[in-house]
């Protein structure tokens, strides 16, 4: 059974940092592009960051310069380091797998999704 399991969310204050993890199991994801999305209450799920199988990274403008996505192939895990967090970063954060980094920005047609981890940033 293929699973993506997110962890690392929590309640933090504005300006703090968090590192989210996405552990993949059930198969090797080294050939997949991996990414992070988020969904705030009442809003659509939106792209945050993505990383290709070769290490190419892309970011949403809203987090560029404050976040870093990385992957550890040996651990089959993807990370999202978020710094200088803002209240508007509050959302459920989801990990996703896609066949290509070219389509990672779209929330549609992802191969796999995780269940999400809550990030709440207080002002």
Report CA torsion sign: 73, 77, 83, 86.
positive
According to the model, what pLDDT value does residue 1 have?
76
The pLDDT tens digits for 13-72 are 999 999 999 999 888 788 899 999 999 999 999 999 999 999 999 999 999 999 999 999
Asked whether the predicted pLDDT for residue 90 surpasses 80, the reply is yes
Q: DSSP letter at 87?
A: G
Confidence of residue 2 (pLDDT cuts 50, 70, 90): confident
pLDDT at 11: 98
Give the DSSP H or E segment for 121. Answer: strand 117-122
Q: Choose among 71, 47, 70: nearest CA to 59.
A: 47
pLDDT at residue 30, rounded to an integer: 82
pLDDT of residue 27: 80
Percent of the chain past pLDDT 90, that is, above it, reads 89
How far is it, in rounded angstroms, from Cα 68 to Cα 48?
10
């Amino acid at each position: 059974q293929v699973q993506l399991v997110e962890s690392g969310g929590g309640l933090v204050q504005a300006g703090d940092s968090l590192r989210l993890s996405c552990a993949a199991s059930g198969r090797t994801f080294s050939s997949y592009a991996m990414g992070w999305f988020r969904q705030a209450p009442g809003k659509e799920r939106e792209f945050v960051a993505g990383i290709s199988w070769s290490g190419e990274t892309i970011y949403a403008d809203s987090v560029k310069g404050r976040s870093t996505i990385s992957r550890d192939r040996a651990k089959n895990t993807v990370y999202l380091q978020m710094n200088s967090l803002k209240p508007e970063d509050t959302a459920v954060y989801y990990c996703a797998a896609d066949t290509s980094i070219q389509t990672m920005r779209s929330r549609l047609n992802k191969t796999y999704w995780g269940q999400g981890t809550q990030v709440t940033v207080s002002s």
